[in-house]
Amino acid sequence: MSFRRFIQDLGYYRNMLLAACFLFVASIIVGAVYPDLMRSLLEPQIDSLRTVRGALEASPVPELSFFLFIFINNTVKSLLIMGFGALFGLMPIVFLVMNGLVLGYLVTTAAAQGTSLFDLIVKGLLPHGIIEIPAIVIAAAFGLQFGYLILKSLGELGARERHQRTVKWGEFFRSMGRAAIWLTVALLIAAVIESTITFYLVQL
């Protein structure tokens, strides 16, 4: 479960990691370039997030409330998109696309309303996002790899004898277990930063 082995796993699954990065970045661009087309799709989700944020800010200890919500929400979602990648990788794709669209849309609409992009990105996103976003993309990459291996296994099921099959499930599940541990640690750190440093910076 060493961190070094986790980094090696990322290199081994680099194709899916690159695919996840591409999906996420492409979705950010689409959300930023076509905000009017995205409005009806994304505004209900953003409104629900604003409602949650208001409830957390009104709690007796908002920093603790933000920390618990952010950590649990991000960790559960990350583990789910890894596991449910077994459904042919569909859930990680949807997750990456929707989060990318929301991020791109929010930046564009905030800029159109006169919000300082420096404040939005440097104060509101960068402190925790530099850890949180890569962690979420990595989780999605493992989900995509899971879906790919499922498809590959199905393809080999009738075409090859058992000893000739190339999918090594034990190896993959060990690497996914390592990823789950280290991504949870990363998201814990990101949640601490977002509920303290980011929380105070956006109040300035």
How high is the pLDDT of residue 21? 97
d(CA 135, CA 183): 6
Residue 115 region, left (φ>0) first, then alpha (ψ -120 to 50), else beta? beta
Q: What percent of the chain has a predicted confidence (pLDDT) above 90?
A: 70
On the question of pLDDT at 189 being above 80, the answer is yes
3-state secondary structure 88-129: CCHHHHHHHHHHHHHHHHHHHHHHHCCCCHHHHHHHCCHHHH
Which of 22-26, 36-40, 143-147, 178-182 is predicted least confidently?
Answer: 36-40
32, 197, 42, 14: which is closest to 104 by C-alpha?
32
How high is the pLDDT of residue 204? 67
How high is the pLDDT of residue 112? 87
How high is the pLDDT of residue 154? 85
Across all residues in the chain, what is the average pLDDT? 91
d(CA 109, CA 32): 8
The 10s digit of each residue's pLDDT in 39-92 is 999 999 889 988 998 999 899 998 899 999 999 999 999 999 999 999 989 999
What average pLDDT does this structure show over 15-37? 96
How high is the pLDDT of residue 155? 79
d(CA 204, CA 123): 9
The 10s digit of each residue's pLDDT in 106-151 is 999 988 888 888 888 888 888 899 999 999 999 999 999 999 999 9
On the question of pLDDT at 22 being above 70, the answer is yes
How high is the pLDDT of residue 1? 74
